[in-house]
A and B are shown apart, each in its own frame.
Chain A
Amino acid sequence: MIEMNDVTKKFSTKKTNVTALNHVSFTVPAGKVVGLLGENGAGKTTLLRCIATLITPTSGTITVNGFSTTKEPNQVKRKIGVLFGGETGLYDRLTARENLTYFANLYGLSKHETKVAIEELAVKFGMREYLDRRVGEFSKGMRQKVAISRTIIHNPDIILLDEPTTGLDITSSNVFRQMILQLKQQGKTILFSSHIMEEVQALCDSVAMIHKGQLVYQGKLEALYHEEDTQDLNFIFMSKLARGETA
């Protein structure tokens, strides 16, 4: 479970002072898939980076399964797996197996655990054929499979995905959605940012909408459809932004 309480993040330089997150509070319940919606620059990536302990909030608190992201970052890191969109974060000159082994090692998995985990992931995502080829030779879809495998190699309870289908073709996007559904079936908690509404509708239990650093809505999709009297998520999203509501 992820709990964000009154989180603000400001980026200050000599010339500018940007508030990327403005008093955001929301919860991602355990075992649920929550979609994080927002325009480019709305604060989605900053929010995910704060949860991933990559950046520290200016104020407010974030806990992941009860661990504070600022006070107990290493415990948090063991509980989460993160994948940022467009970037796979893989080493091109290493093979898929070497990449996975390296990250498994960084997460403290034993040699045996690593071997078993890689075998399972290779079967699950159909990567066996190219497991021993260098990642630099891979197509985007293949890379994305290895990247998600890297994200979950340590079997995290919580998975953070930032626009994971960005740059993927239709086939790869579909493969990826299937992978998310598999993880959902395993009971993983997934916070998933996207601006593809169909994707959110297909995968998520509930949504959080963020606009200019402020949370404008959080709740179940069904409740939102009922409240807005339409199932057109695109329309609902634009209406929310136009009305300038905050949650």
Chain B
Amino acid sequence: MIWNMYVKEMKDVFRDRRTLLMVVFLPLILLSGLVFFYESLMSDDKEETYTVAIPNELSEEGQLFFSDMPNLEMEVFARPKEVVDEGEASVALLAEDGFFESLGEEGMAGVTLYGDSMSQNASYVMNMIESKFAQVEQGIVSSRLEEKNVEESILEAFTVERVEPSYNDENGDSLALISMLLPMVFSIAIASGSTSAAMDLFAGEKERKTMESLLMTPVDRNKILISKWLTISTFGAMTGILAVVLIVIETLFFTEKMKAAFSINEGMSIVIIITLAMTLLFALFIAALLMLISIIAKSIKESQSYSTPVSLLTIAPMFFITSMGVKEFTFIDFILPFMNLYAILKQLLYGIIDITNIALTLGSTAIYILILFAIARVLFMKDRWVL
């Protein structure tokens, strides 16, 4: 009986094409667009050129200075700062007359870089120019010391070597982004996939009075509840898996920087199995939560209002985990709903398979499911909530 009801519910929800398009496929497309956004954030953009505003034509020495930076276009403006303020140039380089010619001579030469460090482009250009200056300065200081027969090592009292943990290899930046992006996409996709079905199968049925017809049949209300819950969960899990597959494909075939994050090979099968288990459990959890909301609501509109905080909860953990190291998560992080999904997926993406944390995440989610389902069941048995 549950199977028959489940098949009918699936058919019914699948035929609601407009809602499916708006609630499932549109978010999927938008979420997958994030991959390209992050890729562009990470890429060096070697092909892109940036305008640097300068007050006077560059001398030969100046041109030589910037010769290894072909993506910087030095352009003369009467008021370089204003040009930057108006957005026509990324950065203004204000150097004293003869600055480049006098480089290396005795005395302190000065240069000003004017730009908005909050702008990604300006920050990138400023870093590039500063690095070049630091490199040139290093050469000048070395030759000055050599002239005075002073060992360069005298300037170094000690050396500091920064070593990253093995999981934070050369692809650390890509991995950090992916570990933030993937759980968020996963969480949003499961929630958005479940929402339309949840609203339709309880609040919608109450509104259309089909719930009455259903309750007048001799079918056990538990079976009705389970079949609807499984339908909602299926839509959530399907959307979640679809979103992740889409993002993995996009990342592997259409990105360079982000692709590097997927180079984990050891224990990959365990990671996939746990991720799938997490998908199912999280889909069941979200489905139970949205089902409860939909039972409480008298109409689809009311259900939509009540489920808004759930949408926010699916994104909220991202703001916390972004700044947290992969080993900094505590017991609480693995038992808090929503947060635990982000925490465990981040660890898995870093190739960390911690059985205790996995057990805590799966176990706590299972307990939340039981609690939410039990409350939903109590309400569904009462006429006040279902009619």
A80–B216 CA distance with the chains assembled, in angstroms: 9
Q: How far is the CA of A52 from the CA of B218 in the complex (A)?
A: 11
Given A91-B12, A93-B15, residue A77 in contact with residue B383 (CB < 8 A) = no
CB under 8 Å from chain A, chain B span 45-72: none
1/0 per residue A104-143: CB within 8 Å of B?
Answer: 0111100000000000000000000000001000000000
Q: How far is the CB of B184 from chain A (nearest CB, A)?
A: 32
Interface residue B217 (Cβ < 8 Å from any Cβ of A): yes
Query: Are A106 and B214 touching (Cβ within 8 A)?
Result: yes
The residue among B213, B215, B219 with the most chain A CB atoms within 10 A of its own CB is B213
Residue A150 contacts which of B8, B213, B219, B387 (CB distance < 8 angstroms)? B213
In the complex, A189→B280 CA distance in Å?
A: 49
* Number of interface residues, chain B, beta carbon within 8 A: 21
Given A91-B210, A102-B8, is A107 in contact with B217 using a C-beta cutoff of 8 Å?
yes
Q: Is B73 an interface residue (CB 8 A)?
A: no
A53, A54, A89, A98 interface centre (most CB from chain B within 10 Å): A89
Contact partners of A73 in chain B: CB under 8 A: 218
Q: Is A179's beta carbon under 8 Å from chain B?
A: no
B4 in contact (CB, < 8 A): yes
Q: Return the contact of A89 from the options B12, B15, B209, B218 (Cβ within 8 A).
A: B209
Q: Check B11 for interface membership: any CB of A closer than 8 A.
A: yes
Give the chain A neighbours of B8 by CB distance below 8 A. 91, 94, 98, 102
CB pair A77–B12 under 8 Å, yes or no, is: no
Is there a chain B Cβ closer than 8 Å to A176's Cβ? Answer: no
Residue A84 lies at the interface, judged by CB distance under 8 Å to chain B = yes
- Per DSSP, chain B at the interface is helix
B170 within 8 A of A: no
With A91-B12, A94-B12, A108-B218 as contacts: A103 and B213 at CB distance below 8 Å: yes
**CB of B146 closer than 8 Å to a CB of A:** no
Contact, CB under 8 Å: B11 / A94: yes
Asked if A84 contacts B209 (CB within 8 A), the reply is yes
Judged by a CB distance under 8 angstroms, whether A247 is at the interface is: no
Chain A residue with the shortest CB-CB distance to B383: A55
Which residues from chain B contact A94 at a C-beta distance below 8 Å? 8, 11-12, 15
When C-beta atoms are compared, the residue in chain B nearest to A13 turns out to be: B384
Q: Is B16 an interface residue (CB 8 A)?
A: yes
List residues of chain B with CB within 8 A of the CB of A84: 209, 212
**Of the residues A56, A87, A98, contact of B209 by C-beta under 8 Å:** A87
Question: Complex formed: what's the CA distance from A55 to B386 in Å?
Answer: 11
Complex contact B383–A56 (CB within 8 A): yes
* B383→A89 contact, CB < 8 A: no
10 more A-B contacts (CB under 8 A) besides A73-B218, A74-B218?
A91-B8, A93-B12, A94-B8, A98-B8, A102-B4, A103-B213, A106-B1, A106-B5, A106-B219, A150-B213
Give chain B's interface residues, CB within 8 Å of chain A. Answer: 1, 4-5, 8, 11-12, 15-16, 208-210, 212-219, 383, 387
28 A-B pairs with C-beta separation under 8 A: A53-B216, A54-B383, A73-B218, A74-B218, A75-B218, A77-B217, A82-B216, A84-B212, A87-B208, A89-B208, A89-B213, A91-B12, A93-B15, A94-B8, A94-B12, A94-B15, A98-B11, A102-B4, A102-B8, A103-B213, A105-B1, A106-B1, A106-B5, A106-B214, A106-B218, A106-B219, A107-B217, A108-B218
Residues on A facing B (Cβ under 8 Å): 52-56, 73-75, 77-78, 80, 82, 84, 87-94, 98, 102-103, 105-108, 134, 150
Q: Which 4 A-B pairs have the closest CB atoms?
A: A89-B213, A87-B209, A106-B217, A93-B15
